[in-house]
Amino acid sequence: MGVSRLDVFYRRLLLTKLFIGGWGRPEDLRRIFEFRKFIGDREKCKTLVSEDYPVYINKTEELADCLIHDGFFISPLEHLVPGILPPEAVKARFQFIVPKKWQKNRPVCIQLAGTGDHFFWRRRTLMARPMIKEAGMGSLLLENPYYGYRKPKDQLRSCLKNVSDLFVMGGALILESTALLRWLEREGYWPLGMTGISMGGYMASLAVTNWPKPIPLIPCLSWSTASSVFTTGVLSKAVNWTELEKQYAINSVYEKEIINLLEYCGADSFKMRAEQSRGVDSLEHLLGLSGDCRESVGRRVEAGKPSGHCGDPEGRRDRDEYSVPSANSRETNKDLLPSAHSTRHRLKTNSAKCCRPSLHNESISFMKGVMDECTHMANFSVPVDTGLIIVVQAKEDAYIPRTGVLSLQEIWPGCEVRYLNGGHISAYLFKQNVFRQAIYDAFNIFCLKYPNLQ
């Protein structure tokens, strides 16, 4: 199955680069990975968020068909990992949209935001209000950290500044979803479920892995891990690889320490690429990349000189994307620095096949490793009842590649996957009704299986 041309075209409209600040501070990554090990085990997390965690409603607006309650609470992540959230994101904000008159029970679906979904108007218009009209179902729209009112002042639009920001967002949303589910239970709403589109689907999936009860989950246009999104999907072309490669070359802590904290070792893990790991030297030999040349790359970046693309980076980035970094790729001894003339001569003579591919491939491999650590569903507990999960995926999705990664059916046996024709963008624009129907179906299955679980 090919990829959607519309997806490729739409991505080219995104001019702002992702992760312009780089990987994030090593100390932040250490704290996030340590917390991930804890939150990935549902049994360890039963008391992380108290049953009576405080949630507040501060304003109510009445419309023709519904009531809109604006609410807030302090993110539990701020208590558990203090200072990891930017100050603007500490207060979690949400809109709770309910029908004026309930049809049957009081069902509520928590909807998490996809990429670029700031504030609440998009989900309220395309999903929440139609769900009230069609099924009498309420929606709670939680605002993601780094978005809307929770966006840091130095962040440009939706483009997260650091790779680590995505992991902080995920950890926060897992805990915040738990706080909201507990609050909804206290208030007598039932049944409860979770959904999201694209990144919102990933985040909803992560949140449900941590919930200790059966719950409907409807992730739309998401899959088993975010690693493929940023390494092989069309969004990989929007990543600021120049800055990531520079930081990876300069700061050896990423290669020598952070990489050892990565635990996921499934069939699609970068750690399982042992043959490629052992074959790095032979690969570099085939590329004409000598040891001296590799060292000059690291020193050249350390010296603050522009790293520059050799030849066609777009084509080369598709090659051998999972080769594991060589431990000798960063030499910092200034006595070994080559002269400026010899460096220029070496870079000129080796041309496109010399210096760039190794460093870029190492950075891609590291990206896959850290993304799998914090977003791969196999790194988290299996939801209590996978029969309540309906996944909606686009066949030609160029944003969420499914090749080379474990499927959700392998990780969550018993879940249902529904495929749509077309790609990511066309499904988002024209298939919202299909997403809503999947929500209704999952809730109906829940009510049949657990009529007394209130």
Inside any domain, residue 218: yes
Residue 332 lies in a domain: no
Q: Given this model, what pLDDT does residue 248 score?
A: 93
| Tens of pLDDT, residues 77-130 | 999 999 999 999 999 999 999 999 998 899 999 999 988 778 899 999 999 999
Under the banding of pLDDT at 50, 70 and 90, the label for residue 159 is confident
The single-letter code of the amino acid at 344 is R
124 within a domain of the structure (yes/no): yes
Strands 138-142 and 108-112: parallel
Domain CATH code at residue 10: 3.40.50.1820
pLDDT surpasses 90 at 381? yes
The C-alpha atoms of residue 313 and residue 335 are separated, in whole angstroms, by: 31
Q: Does the residue 98 lie in any domain?
A: yes
Q: What is the pLDDT of residues 399-414, one digit of tens each?
A: 998 988 999 999 999 9
Residue 302 lies in a domain: no
Q: Which residue has the higher pLDDT, 155 or 247?
A: 247
396 three-state secondary structure: coil
Residue 333 resides in a domain: no
Ordered DSSP codes for 306-350? -----S-HHHHTTSSTTPPPPTTS----GGGPPPHHHHHHHHHHH
User: In angstroms, rounded to a whole number, what is the distance separating the alpha carbons of residues 148 and 160?
Assistant: 13
Cis ω before 86 (30° cut-off from 0)? no
20: containing domain: 5-268+359-449
> What's the confidence (pLDDT) of residue 326?
37
Within-domain flag for 389: yes
Q: Classify residue 407 by burial, with Cβ atoms within 10 Å: 0-12, 13-18, 19+.
A: middle
> Does 9 score more than 90 pLDDT?
no
Over the stretch 321-337, which tens digit does the pLDDT of each residue have? 333 333 343 333 333 33
Q: Are 293 and 350 in contact (CB under 8 A)?
A: yes
Q: What is this structure's pTM?
A: 0.80
Domain count, the chain: 1
**pLDDT tens figures, 178-226:** 999 999 999 999 999 999 999 999 999 999 999 999 999 999 999 999 9
In a domain, 328, yes or no: no
By CB atoms closer than 10 A (0-12, 13-18, 19+), residue 182 is middle
